[in-house]
Chain A
Amino acid sequence: MTNTLTMLEIDRVAKRYGDSLAVADVSFTISKGEFIALMGPSGCGKTTTLRMIAGLDEPTGGEIRLWGRRLNEDAPWKRNAPLVWQNYALFPFLSVRKNIEFGLKQRGMPIRQRREKAFEWMERLGIAAYADRGIDQLSGGQRQRVALARALALEPEMLLLDEPLSALDPHLRVRMQSELVRLHRDLGITFVCVTHSHSEAFAMANRVVLMNEGQVQQIGTPREIHRRAANRFVAEFVGGNNLLSGTAVDAGNGLMRVDGPFGSTLARAPTDRVLQTGAEVTLVIAADCIDMLPARSGTGNEIEARVLTLEFIGSAVTVFLETLGGAELRIQRPLHEIENSPLSPLSPGQTVIARWSEDEGYFLPA
């Protein structure tokens, strides 16, 4: 399991607080230079996992290994895994410069060197002008940069981020998101980022560890998680999926017929298990995989449906449809496509044909 690139191993780690289990049994590995997102709803154990990596919480079970060496009992101040706090946790009684120098000072770096180093990082993050300001004179975005500089000045091999963007306003959040990605690429160090937002996780991370109720639900690239959710929880959490409940009817040619309130559709039968005829199944089709046509084309799955509502989200549109059988379908298309479609102007009440190919749906374990 351990290869030369495996930097950090989280091996069957658990954390119990009294009667409650914050982290039940979590295992995953992180390679050097990865940008990992720990994602999940609040209370899923993602922050506790991050805190155990930093040494701020001690696991009650399992082992955390860094380059193969057990880390569990190491005091946080013995580790070099600086954390960027959600509320930044900057020292209010120190200036910006002294906040950034703090970690270097603890490591006994002489004053001139640490001034230089602090200045380098302030320049890099564009906060050199505020060097002698107090923390309460900074905006949220500036504080975020100070927190980043304070952590990165230690030149760690791993940076931990706890909901780094959630305290920023939406406009700044998007900018900081790409800035974090750029920093990660330029520095080549490992980033471990906790977030509850799948859009943040998918936008930044190479790999996502999706957690719920103290357990890992799925590990994979954003694309893998988006296109092939491992279970119902994942499919619902990442959003943009249609979950259709139906009955397996018959399989042939590798395709399986599923009947439900949406009508009758074909989907590629799972290769990892055999579905019995008559079994209750959940079929997942991503909202961006469904097309809307004015009339049947005779290919793929085609279901007649009525437009319920339209939601504009910037350059994309979410369309909610109701099939004749009463099932709800959600479709996401680029705005320009909707505008240039023969269906335009699309409006509630209109009847359309929803179409997707047999390859695009997949079955979830019951």
Chain B
Amino acid sequence: MAFWAIPPILWQFAFFVVPLGFLVAMTFWSVRSFRLTPDMTLANWMFILKAGFFRSAYIYTFKLALLTALIASLSAFPAAYTLAFRLQPRTRRFLIFMLVVPFFTSYPVRIYSTQIFFSPEGIINAMIAPLGLGPVSVLDTPTGTVVGYLVLTLPLVLLLQTFALMNTPRDLIEAAHNLGCGRFRTILTVIVPTARVGLVLAATFAFVLSFGDYVAPLYLGGSNPPTLSILIADQVKSGNNWPRASVVAVTMILTLIVVMTAMLALAYGGRKKGRG
């Protein structure tokens, strides 16, 4: 059995670790007359970390990803709760299947279809115009970007939350009720603590996916203001500056490592450790 662990490890090594090493190495290279030249310079790091446009893009991307994780987690929870506890198993299976359907189509296609809703002459404006409202502009705004992030992350967050909640032992919920804890309080005192790992994991996924997404900020956010992924593309497009783009990419990876570590501490921390 151990032998069959080798192919996926080799695969990961060849297509993840090696390119990653390459990416890090490239941050020290230089570009001379649009030509990539191996080098050992800190100039790219100095330039990017000092650049005002990088810092504002960094803060903007971080805030938007955080906001998305928060909105996705909070808005998915009532639905996940209903799916996990309130529905018949047959209905639940059908709805879980429906939640997987969005993943059948590629994500950019779903973003395109979202544009139809939000464009100035789109479905939403056409619907609210007779009511004397609008037109609302969502396209090419930060709101547009967040809408795109939610298109990407909400089904996943909802699925992960549902699975996390379904693992809550029914006994514990009933024990809480039996000890005088009403339905709503039981959510906070028993269900959320029990499903904590899964709920934190869902939010982390939402953050990670949004933080690195390129499609939503480009097509719905209009690249304005740019997110870090837009910045990477810009560095490459204008001036073929792969090393600077790599610096942005590496800072993103480092950020995600820190976020993941913090989230894992949040998920598993503070537990009474068992002796086995």
The chain A residues found within 8 Å of chain B, CB to CB, are: 54-56, 75-77, 80-83, 85, 87, 89-93, 95, 102-103, 106-107, 133-137, 150-151, 154
Q: Are B171 and A89 in contact (CB under 8 A)?
A: yes
Q: Are A133 and B272 in contact (CB under 8 A)?
A: yes
Given A89-B172, A93-B193: A77 touches B180 (CB 8 Å cut-off):
yes
Q: How far, in angstroms, from A225 to B185 measured CA to CA in the complex?
A: 45
CB distance from A210 to the nearest CB of B (A): 26
Q: Are B175 and A89 in contact (CB under 8 A)?
A: yes
Given A56-B174, A85-B171, A89-B175: A77 touches B274 (CB 8 Å cut-off):
no
CB distance from B175 to the nearest CB of A (A): 4
Given A82-B178, A103-B180, A133-B272: A93 touches B171 (CB 8 Å cut-off):
no
Q: How far, in angstroms, from A154 to B180 measured CA to CA in the complex?
A: 10
CB distance from B176 to the nearest CB of A (A): 8
CB distance from A249 to the nearest CB of B (A): 57
A-B contact pairs, 7 of them (CB 8 A): A76-B174, A77-B183, A85-B171, A93-B196, A134-B271, A134-B273, A136-B272
Q: Could you say which residues of chain B place their CB within 8 Å of the CB of A95?
A: 272
Asked if B275 lies at the interface with its beta carbon under 8 angstroms from chain A, I say yes
Which chain B residue lies CB-closest to A81? Answer: B178
Q: Given B182, B190, B274, B275, which contacts A91 in the complex, CB threshold below 8 Å? A: B190
Q: Are A154 and B272 in contact (CB under 8 A)?
A: no
Q: Could you say which residues of chain B place their CB within 8 Å of the CB of A107?
A: 180
Which chain A residue lies CB-closest to B177? Answer: A76
Q: How far, in angstroms, from A80 to B196 measured CA to CA in the complex?
A: 29
Q: How far, in angstroms, from A103 to B180 measured CA to CA in the complex?
A: 6
Could you tell me which residues of chain B, from 249 to 276, have a CB within 8 Å of some CB in chain A?
A: 271-275
Q: Given A77, A80, A137, which contacts B177 in the complex, CB threshold below 8 Å? A: A77
Q: Are A75 and B179 in contact (CB under 8 A)?
A: no
Q: How many residues of B contact A (CB 8 A)?
A: 24
Which chain A residue lies CB-closest to B273? Answer: A134
CB distance from B87 to the nearest CB of A (A): 16
Q: How far, in angstroms, from A103 to B186 measured CA to CA in the complex?
A: 12
Query: Is chain B's interface secondary structure helix, strand, loop, or mixed overall?
Result: helix
Q: Are A106 and B193 in contact (CB under 8 A)?
A: no
Which chain B residue lies CB-closest to A80? Answer: B180
Q: Are A106 and B171 in contact (CB under 8 A)?
A: no
CB distance from B98 to the nearest CB of A (A): 25
Q: Given A75, A85, A136, which contacts B175 in the complex, CB threshold below 8 Å? A: A85
Which chain A residue lies CB-closest to B272? Answer: A134
Q: How far, in angstroms, from A268 to B49 measured CA to CA in the complex?
A: 103
Q: Could you say which residues of chain A place their CB within 8 Å of the CB of B172?
A: 89, 91
Q: Could you say which residues of chain A place their CB within 8 Å of the CB of B193?
A: 91, 93
Q: Could you say which residues of chain B place their CB within 8 Å of the CB of A154?
A: 179-180
Q: Could you say which residues of chain B place their CB within 8 Å of the CB of A80?
A: 180
Q: Are B272 and A91 in contact (CB under 8 A)?
A: no
Q: Are A83 and B181 in contact (CB under 8 A)?
A: no
Q: Could you say which residues of chain B place their CB within 8 Å of the CB of A55?
A: 177-178
Q: How far, in angstroms, from A103 to B274 measured CA to CA in the complex?
A: 24
Q: Are A106 and B178 in contact (CB under 8 A)?
A: no
Q: Could you say which residues of chain B place their CB within 8 Å of the CB of A89?
A: 169, 171-172, 174-175
Q: Could you say which residues of chain A place their CB within 8 Å of the CB of B194?
A: 92-93
Q: How far, in angstroms, from A81 to B178 measured CA to CA in the complex?
A: 7
Q: Given B175, B183, B196, B272, which contacts A135 in the complex, CB threshold below 8 Å? A: B272
Q: Given A75, A87, A137, A150, which contacts B275 in the complex, CB threshold below 8 Å? A: A137
Q: Are A137 and B180 in contact (CB under 8 A)?
A: no
Q: How far, in angstroms, from A75 to B183 measured CA to CA in the complex?
A: 10
Given A56-B174, A89-B169, A89-B174: A103 touches B179 (CB 8 Å cut-off):
yes
Q: Could you say which residues of chain B place their CB within 8 Å of the CB of A85?
A: 171, 175
Given A87-B171, A89-B169, A93-B193: A102 touches B179 (CB 8 Å cut-off):
yes
CB distance from A57 to the nearest CB of B (A): 10
Q: Are B181 and A106 in contact (CB under 8 A)?
A: yes
Q: How far, in angstroms, from A87 to B175 measured CA to CA in the complex?
A: 11
Q: Are B271 and A93 in contact (CB under 8 A)?
A: yes
- Among B172, B176, B179, B271, residue most surrounded by chain A Cβ atoms (within 10 Å): B179
Which chain A residue lies CB-closest to B275? Answer: A137
One digit per residue, 1 when the CB lies within 8 angstroms of any chain A CB and 0 when it does not, for chain B 151-190 equals 0000000000000000001011011111111110100011
Q: Could you say which residues of chain A place their CB within 8 Å of the CB of B177?
A: 55-56, 75-77
Q: Could you say which residues of chain B place their CB within 8 Å of the CB of A54?
A: 178
Q: How far, in angstroms, from A90 to B275 measured CA to CA in the complex?
A: 17
Q: How far, in angstroms, from A82 to B176 measured CA to CA in the complex?
A: 10
